[in-house]
Amino acid sequence: MAADPAFASALRCIRCAACADVCPPYQVVGGHVFGYVYSGAIGLVNTAFHHGLEAAAGPQSLCVSCNACATVCPVEIPLPRQILDVRQRVAERRGLPLPKRAVLAVWSRPRAFRLAMRLAALALRPLRRGKLLQLPLPERWRWRMPPALASCPARAALAGRRFEPDAGGPLVRSAARGLTVAYFVQCLTDRFAPEQALAAVRVLRGCGARVVVPAAQHCCGLPAIDSGAPESARRMARQTIEVLEAVPADWIVTAAASCAIAIAQDFPHLLRDEPTWRARAEALAARTLDFVTFLDQVAKIPPGALASSGARLGPLTYHSFCQSTHVLGISGVGPHLLRDVCSLELRDLAEGEVCCGFGGSTSLDYPEVAREIVGRKLENVAASGASILVTDNPGCLLHLRGAADARGLPIRVMHLAEVLAEQLDSPPLG
């Protein structure tokens, strides 16, 4: 372990158990279910070396990659990265389950993925109820209604187009005026929530930026990264780098914080053994931002800029995507935009920075664990008295919307970009 550069830092552990204290899955299952002899996040790493990959195989897959353990670790062990590296070694040893291999095989090939999504949208259309599917689910799945595929993906309105900046409007004092932004449409957003991408582009144009949407973009590869499938992940990472680096833009922006983090932090690690590709990944990372950070650090929207129509929405509460909190450190920016820029009524959300339990495919692999995590989140939302729950990442939104519907909670779940777009006076994109 000491000789392995990827894991040597885990030997700095002082056994304080802080990583277990903040781990959402550990709070549900507890004890040695989330570990072996050594429990908690550090146990997922230690077990692979002390007791072998077979002993670590089950527990490591419970991790939802919220990164809370890295935030609290007093000796700065990069536990989230190490857990993913253990996951990759487990997958190499045991192989991925056949269904996951099949899904990733399609997902990593843009044409096959788009065809599969079109066919699925047609087949499931009779089961659509608004933005969700009405399905007779088995009991272990009834806690979350699945999202419906959109009849018209975001790509249909955005891909290959160039949108000129708004000449006036309430964001006329934005510091982003004159910049060119290449917009990355996350694959889940594209097919399940195209309104989020349309709203984000509207807001970026409202900030005075010219927006270019590369037609050949597909997926950053995060599903493969989280599954421990490096070859599929590298294939999608290289494709994303080639597409985005070719765009003459000042910034690459996406309203999916998870994708921005994947591009900025996962790509250089994923391609670390390929010097040329790593250099290209690092160059792309230097100009990639999530939507919220762009508005805060680049556009620098002044307080009250979107306050004119604030009576439309409210009261709201805010769930910060866990990696926005623990990786980007921007958990307070969303509330600032809602409260100070839009002058909306924002209710405090207990444990607002705690993971919602989505965790990518983790919520599919362990629905009982995800159900308990999101249940606690929605209890806090209900206690806030808000009628609208706002978040900054599409995966959280789809997860929370489906769980809220299954519980019969009368709450609207929106992406921050949608709220800001509703505050603008500009017409929807056509």
pLDDT along the chain (430 residues), means of 10: 95 94 92 80 91 84 92 96 93 90 92 94 93 90 94 94 90 93 96 96 96 96 93 95 96 97 96 97 97 97 80 87 96 96 95 93 91 97 97 96 96 96 68
Q: Does domain 8-94 match CATH 1.10.10.10?
A: no
d(CA 263, CA 257): 10
For residue 102, CA distances in Å to 87, 121, 192, 230, 363 come to 18, 19, 20, 15, 18
Distance of CA 345 to the CA centre of its chain: 25
Q: What angle do CA 225, 267, 328 make, to 5 degrees?
A: 90
The count of other CB atoms within 10 Å of the CB of residue 134 is 14
Phi and psi, residue 325, nearest 5°: -75, -55
Distances (CA, A) of 30 to 20, 21, 34, 84, 359: 9, 10, 6, 20, 18
Q: Residue 425 has what pLDDT?
A: 64
Q: Tell whether omega for the bond before 315 is within 30 degrees of 0, i.e. cis.
A: yes
Cβ 266 vs Cβ 222: under 8 Å = yes
Report pLDDT for 411: 96
pLDDT at 277: 98
Distances in Å between the Cα of 406 and the Cα atoms of 132, 145, 390, 401 are: 10, 6, 18, 9
* Strand ranges for 248-406 from DSSP E: 251-254, 288-290, 316-319, 346-347, 388-391
For residue 213, the SS3 value is coil
Which one-letter amino acid corresponds to residue 201?
Answer: V
Is residue 406 within 8 Å of residue 399, measured between CB atoms? no
CATH classification number, 310-423, choose in 1.10.8, 3.40.50, 1.10.3470, 3.30.70: 3.40.50
Nearest residue to 158 (alpha-carbon basis) of 71, 229, 255, 231: 255
How much is the pLDDT for 430?
A: 47
Of 320, 326, 99, 96, nearest in space to 226 by CA: 96
Residue with tokens 């680049």: 298
**Of 110, 296, 124, nearest to 215 (Cα)?**
110
Strand order in the sheet with 251-254: 162-163, 210-212, 180-183, 251-254, 288-290
Q: Where are the domains of the chain?
A: 8-94, 154-299, 310-423
Q: In the numeric block, which tokens belong to residue 392? A: 């900054």
The helix/strand/coil state of 67 is coil
Q: Give CA–CA dist 145/141, Å, rounded.
A: 8
Residue with tokens 């975001």: 154
pTM of the predicted model as reported, rounded to 2 decimal places = 0.94
Question: Any bridge partners for residue 251, and if so which?
Answer: 181
- Counting Cα atoms < 13 Å in the Cβ hemisphere of 386 gives 25
Q: Which of 219, 207, 26, 143 is nearest to 399 (CA)?
A: 143
Q: Is 345 helix (H, G, I), strand (E, B) or coil?
A: coil
CATH class of the domain at 154-299:
mainly alpha
Cβ neighbours of residue 3 closer than 8 Å, sequence gap 6 or more? none
d(CA 7, CA 275): 21
For residue 1, count CB atoms less than 10 angstroms from its CB and return exposed for 0-12, middle for 13-18, buried for 19 or more. Answer: middle
Query: DSSP code of 134?
Result: -
Q: What is the pLDDT of residue 310?
A: 43
Return the CA Rg of the chain: 21
Instruction: List, in order, residues 6 or more apart from 90 with CB less than 8 Å away.
Output: 48, 53, 56, 57, 60, 61, 228
Predicted pLDDT at 309: 52
Which helix (H) or strand (E) element contains residue 163? strand 162-163
